[in-house]
């Protein structure tokens, strides 16, 4: 019996050892890549007024420690003042009226152009760049683009090594590595895989981020993300964290977007983006059923700005954009990067689903404007009565329109009783904007619309102070 057990153990051990050797043989060795690219990676120090970083930390834009306040899930990290490990390469006395933001960057041309994150150099009074050979040089800003969180810097030096850039898409499961200065520790190398592509995160609608599990910490911001060929495929920019430190989810800006920004900053010093003039949301399962879509897909148009490119093309609130310039729109997250990357003045075909049929429209893309929308139109308040949906509604006042940024139409829900509106999720204080594809202009017109609804679920567009959304209203129900 012991001999049998011994033989079984030998067989199992013989099977495990080759498997371990195969697995070890499949793991990449990053040594050659690191030796090839390290000379192009730099440390970026931005000297800022002391109250600047304090204000940023208070507002949640810096992740310098567990005591910081954060406004949302996605933690931007500047990297606070570096530890005393020689990271800055400067032995001069510090000025108590200033503080230092530390980040990373990389050389993209041998004449001294450096790419980093905008938030690393934001509010900087002066910028210093430390090279791999320990030279410390002043840098000036060529241009910045806060929308994509990118900044293009310039130094004057000889014998510089530039990175090789790859603008082709990465793929989930692909090995990648980062080189940067986490917590001020220069030229730290970390590795992992691409977790997902085209991620949209809070407040960053124009960047389809690369998600990775590469360990990233404060100070890595602005540093390069390399593939196994030593080509830069992304710029490390964001982390998902409850503490400001690494928790397995990191985000990088893809290089195809970054290089387009670089070209515009070189040529003009600023970046222009395409604009349609719409606000959009996702199509959920219930709305997909009401719109007769086989699955939840597309970008649901919630609002259209007056006199915007979308309005001139005939796009309306309630439309579902299914394709843009020949590219399928899987969800609302896909559309802003597509529009933002379109040349201003370019004519683009857009396919929309409107009620029960498809329309193909041509939109001449405008330039994303800077500034507030036009002043809203005034409509006097009018009392409403209990309607068939169990609602008491009235017209909006001038101040209410201004607060909610509603130009025209809409009725305010003052009271709600039991009925289909309550079951759909309508609440007192909601503003009803559109019912079954028809704009709601007043309480009497709303009651007229209610009598014409089909005996099935229909979309209802409402506006709240913090959101504009569609609800599935089961018309004809008791």
Active-site positions read: 119, 149, 221
Cβ contacts of 3 within 8 Å, gap of 6 or more: none
Run of H or E residues at 126: strand 126-130
| Dmax (CA) of the chain | 96
Task: Give yes or no for a contact between 390 and 432, defined as CB atoms under 8 angstroms apart.
Answer: no
- Per this entry, what is the length of the chain? 478
Angle formed at CA 176 by CA 172 and CA 177, multiple of 5 degrees: 150
Q: Cα torsion for 114, 60, 180, 123, to the nearest 10°? A: 30
Strand, helix or coil for residue 439: strand
Give the DSSP per-residue string, 138-200: EEEEEEEETTTTEEEEE---SS----EE--SPP-TT-EEEEEE-GGG-TTEEEEEEEEEEEEE
Strand, helix or coil for residue 399: helix
Run of H or E residues at 128: strand 126-130
Tell me the C-alpha distance between 52 and 424, whole Å: 46
CA dihedral over 56, 42, 156, 151, signed as positive or negative: negative
Task: Give yes or no for a contact between 434 and 287, defined as CB atoms under 8 angstroms apart.
Answer: no
Angle formed at CA 113 by CA 158 and CA 77, multiple of 5 degrees: 125
What the block records as the tokens of 34 is 């690191």
What pairs with residue 201 in β-bridges?
A: 204
Give the DSSP per-residue string, 292-355: T-SSS-SEEEEEE-TTSHHHHHT--TT-EEEEETTEE--SGGGHHHHHHTSPTT-EEEEEEEET
CA within 13 Å, CB half, 378: 3
Which residue, 129, 125, 150, 149, is CA-closest to 139?
129
Task: Give yes or no for a contact between 323 and 330, defined as CB atoms under 8 angstroms apart.
Answer: no
Give the DSSP per-residue string, 186-249: TTEEEEEEEEEEEEEETTEEEEEEEEE-----TT-TT-EEE-TTSEEEEEEEEEE-SSSS--S-
């Amino acid at each position: 019996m012991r001999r049998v057990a011994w033989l079984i153990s030998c067989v199992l051990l013989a099977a495990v050892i080759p498997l371990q050797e195969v697995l070890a043989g499949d793991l990449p060795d990053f040594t050659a890549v690191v030796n090839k690219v390290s000379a192009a990676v730099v440390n970026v120090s931005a000297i800022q007024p002391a109250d600047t970083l304090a204000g940023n930390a208070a507002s949640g834009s810096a992740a310098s420690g567990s005591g910081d306040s954060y406004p949302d899930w996605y933690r931007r990290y500047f990297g606070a003042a570096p530890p005393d490990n020689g990271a800055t390469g400067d032995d001069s006395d510090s000025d108590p009226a200033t503080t230092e933001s530390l980040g990373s960057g990389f050389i993209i041309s041998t004449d001294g152009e450096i790419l980093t994150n905008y938030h690393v150099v934001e509010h900087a009074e002066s910028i210093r760049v430390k090279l791999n050979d320990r030279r410390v040089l002043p840098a000036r800003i060529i241009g910045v683009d806060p929308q994509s969180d990118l900044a293009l810097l310039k130094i004057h030096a000889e014998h510089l090594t530039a990175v090789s850039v790859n603008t082709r898409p990465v793929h989930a499961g692909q090995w990648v590595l980062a080189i940067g200065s986490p917590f001020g520790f220069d030229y730290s190398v970390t590795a992992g895989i691409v977790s997902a592509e085209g991620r949209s995160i809070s407040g960053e609608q124009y960047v389809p981020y690369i998600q990775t599990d590469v360990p990233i910490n404060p100070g890595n911001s602005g540093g390069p993300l390399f593939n196994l060929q030593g080509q830069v495929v992304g710029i490390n920019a964001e982390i998902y964290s409850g503490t400001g430190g690494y928790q397995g989810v990191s985000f990088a800006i893809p290089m195809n977007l970054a290089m387009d920004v670089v070209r515009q900053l070189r040529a003009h010093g600023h970046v222009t983006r395409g604009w349609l003039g719409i606000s959009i949301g996702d199509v959920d399962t219930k709305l997909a059923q009401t719109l007769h879509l086989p699955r939840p897909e597309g970008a649901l148009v919630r609002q259209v700005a007056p006199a915007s490119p979308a309005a001139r093309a005939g796009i309306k609130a309630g439309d579902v954009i299914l394709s843009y310039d020949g590219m399928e729109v899987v969800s609302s997250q896909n559309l802003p990067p597509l529009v933002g990357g379109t040349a201003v003045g370019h004519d683009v075909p857009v396919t929309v689903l409107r009620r029960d049929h498809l329309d193909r429209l041509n939109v001449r893309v405008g330039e994303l404007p800077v500034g507030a929308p036009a002043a809203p139109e005034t409509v006097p308040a009018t009392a409403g009565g209990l309607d068939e949906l169990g609602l008491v509604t009235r017209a909006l006042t001038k101040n209410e329109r201004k607060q909610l940024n509603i130009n025209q139409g809409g009725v305010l829900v003052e009271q709600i009783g039991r009925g289909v509106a309550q079951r759909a999720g309508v609440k007192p204080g909601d503003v009803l904007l559109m019912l079954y594809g028809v704009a709601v202009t007043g309480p009497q017109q709303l009651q007229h619309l209610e009598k014409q609804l089909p005996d099935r679920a229909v979309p209802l567009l409402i506006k709240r102070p913090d959101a504009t959304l569609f609800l599935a209203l089961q018309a004809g129900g008791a």
